[in-house]
Amino acid sequence: MSGITAEQVAHLASLARIDLSPEEIASLTIDLGQIVESVKKVQEVATPDVPATSHPMPLTNVFRDDIVVPSLTVEQALSGAPDRDGDKFRVPPILEED
Amino acid sequence: MKKAELMDFDKALELYEPVLGFEVHVELNTKTKMFCGCANEFGQGANTNTCPTCLGLPGGLPQVNRKAIESSIRLGLALGCDIAEASRFARKNYFYPDTAKNFQTSQYDEPIAFNGSLTIELESGRQVTVEIERAHMEDDAGKLTHKGGATGRIQGADYSLVDYNRGGVPLVEIVTQMIEGGEADSPEIGKTYVAAIREIVKALGVSNARMEEGNVRCDANVSLRPRGSNILGTRTETKNVNSLRSVERAVRYEIQRQAALLSAGGTITQETRHWHEDTGRTSAGRPKSDADDYRYFPEPDLVPVAPSREWVEELRATLPEPPAARRKRLQADWGFANLEFQDVVNSDLLDAVEATIAAGASAQAARKWWTGEVARLANVAGVAADSLVQPHQVAALIELVEAGTLTDRLARQVLEGVIAGEGTPLEVVDSRGLAVVSDDGPLIAAIDEALASQPDVLAKIRDGKVQAAGAVIGAVMKAMRGQADAARVRELVLERAGSAE
Ligand SMILES: [Zn+2]
């Protein structure tokens, strides 16, 4: 019945770097399954004569001119950072020793 | 770690056919970033050019830079591409500290430009047409530096630092189709193709095109197909190849490495590899894995880009003469031999020489001065030759030499004065008093004095031993502090020696 498996939820969680408990995976599998079912219903309605759309507004070519506007100050930019080193964001090690 | 074994290049080609592919990233030189008004410039302090949009903070809303679209369309047209009637952005989702948004805004199924081709000419004269699959727009990532552990390496670092100034800078990624039939020319094809892209973006003015600053970056894909087989081999993607010479070396290295591995019964892993400039080798990076599931989807915060055909044609009208055609035309106009012309091209002095000739200099003199003394001084100063002196000044210098006002030696001193900011060549001649002494009066006085003090030499000259005049000429040039035309001095010495009876 469900359009999504627990394995798929676990895979998505690892791609999104979210640590989920088995209980959370089980409940998310049900929730996401319902969403997938709903999307299936929409797909039934979407016949070939309905063009695919990625945006609800019938707009194209919304551009801005190439003019510099003030940026944040370094302090503002770094204010939400968990850690910093001088004017740079500091992050944990990315790869282990090979 | 066991050193990778390489097969002899010719042997590798006997056994396998190389198949290539290139992805070249071009950083556009717009004033602002792709989706926000932060300045697109480096050399500033870290994290000085950021805002909620390029930092991926809540409330950030991307807005497309019109100039970046314009540059992308012009680049697509210059590569012979079709320009999409409808094009859109997509999110390429991945988690890595170089992008604060946790996705790169790129293009997936509807790139702005596609189906192009670029014909390059190798040194042998062989022409190779590289088919371009697509050229799509995306934003650049921030810059990481790794601290602790083995110096500068990501593996085993204690922590990493991020500067997001580059995050959000507009890029165009140019993707080729598979290049087959390159054979022994494969490494040169790589180098020449990237050089051609660099030349085009420079001529278009859409990028600063400095490879050493990462404005043009190349990923080289190489696979080998056993002779007689029609099944493609597994390819590797070598990243980080950021000079023309490195592209050539990296392609050659991968052919030799893969051939050695395959012929020993091994298999190629589909992976990204890193190029090491210092050792001339590639090393294994990340193998393709589940993490390459980027879950692309259309960017909901941006509406499609649908360039009108009128706009596309307007932009097509702004395209410069294709660089390869221009080179052919200039070499013919100037009458340079291949080596002379290559010298100018390789020194990146085509524009400078052209402007110097336009300012009135002869082609050979313009070439000689730019690739000679100017290039030498630039090399000493560690800067580009065309940043050292203006073409019209070189032309003025050449004019002074050709008018006989300066000898080559004096002209080199004048050039130094011009570079030191002492004024135009003529002003330097005046202020430094460097003109050739053309009035014979002081010369004759110096010659008579030299002849009188060396009576034995005078006697020899009179006996017809003309070579003896050298000693007198040397003394005169010394007395004139070198500011005399040696040929004229010689003429006068012989004349004075004859008339001194
Ligand atoms: Zn910004």
Burial class from Cβ neighbours inside 10 Å (0-12, 13-18, 19+) for residue B338 reads: exposed
Does the beta carbon of B312 lie under 8 angstroms from any beta carbon of chain A? no
> B132 with B211, same domain?
yes
Band of the pLDDT at B348, cuts 50, 70, 90?
confident
Contact B97, B162 (CB under 8 A): yes
Within a domain: B365 = yes
Q: What is the pLDDT of residue B490?
A: 87
Band of the pLDDT at B290, cuts 50, 70, 90?
low
User: CB distance A93–B160 less than 8 Å?
Assistant: yes
Q: What is the pLDDT of residues B1-10, one digit of tens each?
A: 344 589 999 9
Q: What span, in angstroms and rounded, lies between the C-alpha atoms of B102 and B84? A: 27
- Helix or strand or coil: residue B420? coil
User: CB distance A71–B163 less than 8 Å?
Assistant: no
SS (H, E, C) A10-51: HHHHHHCCCCCCHHHHHHHHHHHHHHHHHHHHHHHHCCCCCC
Select from B18, B40, B44 the least CA-distant residue to B31: B40
Q: What is the pLDDT of residue B225?
A: 96
Split into its structural domains, chain B has a count of 3
Within a domain: B30 = yes
CA of B55 to the centre of ligand 1 (A): 7
B96 CB neighbours in chain A (<8 A) are 94
Phi-psi label, residue B62: left if phi above 0, alpha if psi -120 to 50, beta otherwise: beta
Q: What span, in angstroms and rounded, lies between the C-alpha atoms of B120 and B117? A: 10
> B355 with B471, same domain?
no
Strands (E) located in B313-397: none
Which residues lie closer than 8 Å to B406 by C-beta, 6 or more apart? B397, B400, B414, B429, B434, B435, B436
Q: To 5 degrees, how large is the angle CA B61–CA B65–CA B71?
A: 150
Mean pLDDT, residues B55-67:
95
Q: What span, in angstroms and rounded, lies between the C-alpha atoms of B98 and B78? A: 31
Phi-psi label, residue B261: left if phi above 0, alpha if psi -120 to 50, beta otherwise: alpha
CA of A92 to the centre of ligand 1 (A): 24
Within a domain: A20 = yes
Contact B299, B59 (CB under 8 A): no
> B175 with B266, same domain?
yes
Select from B318, B341, B340, B315 the least CA-distant residue to B328: B341
> B411 with B446, same domain?
no
DSSP string, B234-298: PPEEEEEE-SHHHHHHHHHHHHHHHHHHHHTT-----EEEEEETTTTEEEEEEEP-GGG----EE
> B280 with B180, same domain?
yes
> B212 with B359, same domain?
no
> B77 with B217, same domain?
yes
Q: What is the pLDDT of residue B1?
A: 39
Answer whether residue A95 shows pLDDT above 90.
Answer: no
Instruction: Examine the fold and report which residue of B290, B314, B336 is the final residue of a domain before the chain moves on.
Output: B290
Q: What is the pLDDT of residue A1?
A: 46
- Helix or strand or coil: residue A80? coil
* Residue B34 Cα, gap to closest chain A Cα (Å): 9
SS (H, E, C) B348-365: CCHHHHHHHHHCCCCHHH
Q: What is the pLDDT of residues B471-482, one digit of tens each?
A: 888 888 888 888
CA B116 to chain centre: 23
**Secondary structure of chain A: what % helix, strand, coil (to 5)?**
40, 10, 50
Q: What span, in angstroms and rounded, lies between the C-alpha atoms of B155 and B152? A: 9
A43-47, B21-25, B87-91: the lowest-pLDDT one: A43-47
Band of the pLDDT at A52, cuts 50, 70, 90?
confident
Q: What is the pLDDT of residues A77-88, one digit of tens each?
A: 999 999 999 999
- Helix or strand or coil: residue B115? strand
> B408 with B471, same domain?
no
Q: What is the pLDDT of residue A2?
A: 54
Q: What is the pLDDT of residue B151?
A: 67
- What pairing do the DSSP bridges indicate for beta strands B82-83 and B159-163? unpaired
Within a domain: B299 = no
Within a domain: B387 = yes
Mean pLDDT, residues A56-83:
94
Q: What span, in angstroms and rounded, lies between the C-alpha atoms of B397 and B14? A: 55
Within a domain: A79 = no
Q: What is the pLDDT of residue A24?
A: 95
Which residues lie closer than 8 Å to B196 by C-beta, 6 or more apart? B118, B120, B323, B324
B127-141, B250-264, B289-303: the lowest-pLDDT one: B289-303
User: CB distance B86–A95 less than 8 Å?
Assistant: no
Answer whether residue B487 shows pLDDT above 90.
Answer: no
| Of A15, A85, A90, Cβ closest to residue B291 | A15
Instruction: Examine the fold and report which residue of B432, B462, B489 is the final residue of a domain before the chain moves on.
Output: B432
CA of A77 to the centre of ligand 1 (A): 10
Within a domain: A22 = yes
Within a domain: A70 = no
B 141-170 near A (Cβ less than 8 A)? 144-147, 149, 154-164
> B469 with B377, same domain?
no
Does the beta carbon of A68 lie under 8 angstroms from any beta carbon of chain B? yes
Within a domain: A43 = yes
CA B55 to chain centre: 32
Q: What is the pLDDT of residue B3?
A: 47
> B472 with B455, same domain?
yes
Within a domain: A84 = no
- Helix or strand or coil: residue B155? strand
Strands (E) located in B44-142: 64-65, 82-83, 90-93, 103-106, 113-121, 127-139
Q: What span, in angstroms and rounded, lies between the C-alpha atoms of B399 and A45? A: 80
User: CB distance B66–A11 less than 8 Å?
Assistant: no
What single-letter DSSP state applies at residue B214?
T
Instruction: Find the domain containing B475 and state its range.
Output: 440-499
Answer whether residue B313 shows pLDDT above 90.
Answer: yes
Answer whether residue B240 shows pLDDT above 90.
Answer: no
Select from B371, B376, B427, B352 the least CA-distant residue to B397: B427
Q: What's the predicted TM-score (pTM) here?
A: 0.81
- The enclosing domain of A18 has a CATH number of 1.10.20.60
> B227 with B124, same domain?
yes
> B201 with B242, same domain?
yes
Mean pLDDT, residues B238-254:
93
Q: What is the pLDDT of residues B351-383, one digit of tens each?
A: 999 999 999 999 999 999 999 999 999 999 888
User: CB distance B55–A57 less than 8 Å?
Assistant: no
B1-10, B44-53, B179-188: the lowest-pLDDT one: B1-10
Mean pLDDT of chain B: 91
ipTM entry: 0.88
DSSP string, B1-52: -PPPP---HHHHHHHEEEEEEEEEEEE---SB-SSS-SB---SSPTT-S--T
Does the beta carbon of B34 lie under 8 angstroms from any beta carbon of chain A? no
Instruction: Examine the fold and report which residue of B432, B456, B475 is the final residue of a domain before the chain moves on.
Output: B432
User: CB distance B157–A93 less than 8 Å?
Assistant: yes
| Of A61, A89, A95, Cβ closest to residue B305 | A61
Widest CA span in chain B: 101
Q: What is the pLDDT of residues B414-438, one digit of tens each?
A: 999 999 999 999 999 889 888 776 6
Within a domain: B179 = yes
* Residue A9 Cα, gap to closest chain B Cα (Å): 14
Split into its structural domains, chain A has a count of 1
Instruction: Find the domain containing A20 and state its range.
Output: 1-47
Within a domain: A83 = no
User: CB distance B47–A89 less than 8 Å?
Assistant: yes
Sign of the torsion angle spanned by Cα atoms B392, B395, B401, B404: negative
* Residue B94 Cα, gap to closest chain A Cα (Å): 8
Most A CBs within 10 A among B29, B72, B303, B308, hence the mutation to make, goes to: B303
Q: What span, in angstroms and rounded, lies between the C-alpha atoms of B303 and B289? A: 32
Q: Which two tokens stand for residue B13?
A: 């080609």
* Residue A79 Cα, gap to closest chain B Cα (Å): 12
Of residues B500 and B403, more confidence is placed in B403
B162 CB neighbours in chain A (<8 A) are 88-91
- The enclosing domain of B456 has a CATH number of 1.10.10.410
Kindly provide the b/e burial profile for residues B28-61, where b requires at least 16 CB atoms within 10 angstroms of the residue's own CB.
bbbebbbbbbbbbeeeeebbbbbbebbbeeeebe
Within a domain: A80 = no
Q: What is the pLDDT of residue B501?
A: 43
Select from B317, B164, B82 the least CA-distant residue to A91: B164
Within a domain: B492 = yes
Q: What is the pLDDT of residues B151-174, one digit of tens each?
A: 677 777 889 999 999 999 999 999
Counting residues of chain B whose pLDDT is more than 70, the rounded percentage is: 97
